[in-house]
Amino acid sequence: MTTQTTAPAATDTGAAPSRVRPSRAGKPNGQWKVDGTTPLNRNEEVKQEGPPLAVRERIETIYAHQGFDSIADDDLHGRFRWWGLYTQRKQGIDGGRTATLEPHELEDRYFMLRVRSDGQALTPAALRVLGGISTDFARGSADITDRQNIQYHWVEIEDVPEIWRRLESVGLETTTACGDSPRGFLGSPVAGIAADEIIDPTPVLLRIKQRFLGDPDLADLPRKFKTAVTGHPSLDVVHEINDISLVGVVHPELGPGYDLWVGGALSTTPRLGERLGAFVTAEQAPDVWHGVIRIFRDYGYRRLRNKARLKFLLADWGTEKFRDVLETEYLGYRLPDGPPPAPATRPGDHVGVHEQKDGRFYVGAAPVVGRVGGGTLTGLADLIERVGADSARLTAHQKIVVLGVPADRVDELVAGLEPLGLTARPSLFRRSTIACTGVEFCKLAIVDTKDTAAGVIAELEQRLGGLTDRLERPIELNVNGCPNSCARIQTADIGLKGQIITVDGEQMPGFQVHLGGGLVGEGRDAGGLGRTVRGLKVPADEVADYVERLVRRYEADRDGDETFAQW
């Protein structure tokens, strides 16, 4: 019942250019350094009327005691985000009604709570705390997001102070996990342990976090600001789609350091980040990060929310001007030119068993579309201790990597993951499918994602088990519940964008198909942003049929080791 079922021709799958267009001159854009700080919309007014981070005190002293109905509207729908809190979608309202209901009619009295991990290693104690919060306060829910966060649902305002107390006892936090602020940092999951690492980004991430996280001067940005830092040659932090990325390279004279990228972001107007051509040492990195985020704060566009990401400023300025402003107005010194990162030679999800530089092993494991839950997190803490491993990190691919596994305990660890719902030997589609929150909890969603994707994985494992053994690389399937692209529609081999579709006159949940995307950091020849195949829409209950047909055709038609993006 798809309106088009054929795979695109080879020329159709090439990279699309950036879809961000320069803004028109003439109107004030709300740039603080150019137009002044007078707020030009309600979001900007709310941020200026009360510092967003200050809402924590009201949560602890008023709202947690007096309950949901005591929460002021500007806090509930505005400032709560700065502490990782969003109201979740009311249960039982299907995606077809998302656009027809008022926001308050979609809203439940429970919260989604996002915990940032910032690429740090989660000790067994931290995993136990994360698991305990899930069990005690979130009805067992816990998802690994594609930004290395843990996301809970069903949280009640009364429990938030105790959740913060537990998180902070193990060095975790929800500070600016959402809101117009520096969101959770992506860090290489194998930082400091991989044998082939170019540079260990741990000190850079820690310094940035210690110096700037929770800084009120950085808590009123035009919109969100995403950061990624890696020193691993698999380019494992999807650096092309962050507002700032520092990517490990070796300068021919200065040695290991970072290549600076800015202005990447997806959503409905995707744009890949661009290199400024500048080399940054580990010592300079926190100041360079601080310079770029202040450029965004001071020059970013605030008039229209849908034009407020850094990518729009970069589109207008270009990389040369951006670098010049960074160096002259914010750093006070010139950065040397530097080399680009080499293309990744393997996927950055780190799934499977890999030797560390100290002779121990790290083991990457896949849940199904990031779903873990409290039992899995607590069980993983026990398993890590039982085999004498160190810790675990989350990945940008909704996976988890166990670190520091002794060589003679690897088999025991791998076997112990299975009963926890994790596997170090996932099928091709379990490995390469990610899904956003979707209609189950997200107020913006139109279509179910997690359960749909889990069903598709199970179907494809049955139908394509033998065939996928002949494919050298995973084929990435990213399932999104609306056009916002939280699960990276445009950078997947097959990206699905949730919408209500009409088939034979009947409306039903389905997906617009987007084909041929890919990031260099996913261990492949990048397809860039890929492209939407106009008219190619698939009902939600026919996704497995569609993907099966597509993969069979690719496997039969491809030329040698031609990748999906090249096909």
Stretch of 47-55, 302-310, 405-413, 430-438 contacting ligand SF4, by CB under 6 A: 430-438
**Residue number with the smallest Cβ distance to ligand SF4:** 481
User: ∠ CA(342), CA(184), CA(348), 5° rounding?
Assistant: 30
Give the Cα separation of 228 and 204 in Å (integer).
11
Minimal distance, residue 152 CB to ligand SF4, in Å: 14
Does residue 437 belong to the site contacting ligand SF4 (CB under 6 A)? yes
Minimal distance, residue 194 CB to ligand SF4, in Å: 31
Does residue 486 belong to the site contacting ligand SF4 (CB under 6 A)? yes
Give the Cα separation of 38 and 245 in Å (integer).
31
Which DSSP letter does residue 448 get?
A: -
CB 389 within 8 A of CB 416: no
Could you give the C-alpha distances from 409 to 364, 383, 405, 412, 488, in angstroms and in order? 15, 11, 7, 5, 36
# residues near ligand SF4 by CB under 6 A: 12
Choosing from 187, 291, 379, 481, the residue that interacts with ligand SF4 (CB under 6 A) is 481
Give the Cα separation of 537 and 295 in Å (integer).
40
Choosing from 53, 249, 369, 482, the residue that interacts with ligand SF4 (CB under 6 A) is 482
Minimal distance, residue 444 CB to ligand SF4, in Å: 4
Minimal distance, residue 3 CB to ligand SF4, in Å: 22
Could you give the C-alpha distances from 319 to 32, 171, 229, 316, 442, in angstroms and in order? 21, 37, 20, 9, 36
Look up tokens 């849908």; give the residue. 306
Sheet holding 85-89, edge to edge: 85-89, 107-116, 149-155, 143-144
Does residue 480 belong to the site contacting ligand SF4 (CB under 6 A)? yes
Does residue 442 belong to the site contacting ligand SF4 (CB under 6 A)? yes
Q: Rg of the chain over CA atoms, in angstroms?
A: 23
Handedness of CA 489, 492, 498, 502 (dihedral sign): positive
Does residue 436 belong to the site contacting ligand SF4 (CB under 6 A)? yes
Stretch of 311-319, 436-444, 466-474, 529-537 contacting ligand SF4, by CB under 6 A: 436-444
Choosing from 444, 457, 475, 492, the residue that interacts with ligand SF4 (CB under 6 A) is 444
Choosing from 269, 423, 484, 532, the residue that interacts with ligand SF4 (CB under 6 A) is 484
Minimal distance, residue 100 CB to ligand SF4, in Å: 16
Stretch of 40-48, 297-305, 332-340, 431-439 contacting ligand SF4, by CB under 6 A: 431-439
Q: Which is nearer to ligand SF4, 163 or 442 (CB)?
A: 442
How far, in whole angstroms, is CA 311 from its chain's centroid? 17
Q: Comparing C-alpha atoms, which of 277, 257, 285 is closest to residue 338?
A: 277
Choosing from 40, 247, 424, 445, the residue that interacts with ligand SF4 (CB under 6 A) is 445
Q: Which is nearer to ligand SF4, 4 or 484 (CB)?
A: 484
Count other Cβ atoms within 10 Å, centred on residue 294.
18
Minimal distance, residue 441 CB to ligand SF4, in Å: 8
Does residue 438 belong to the site contacting ligand SF4 (CB under 6 A)? yes
Stretch of 38-46, 156-164, 288-296, 438-446 contacting ligand SF4, by CB under 6 A: 438-446
Count other Cβ atoms within 10 Å, centred on residue 433.
30
Residues that bind ligand SF4 (CB under 6 A): 436-438, 442, 444-445, 480-482, 484-486
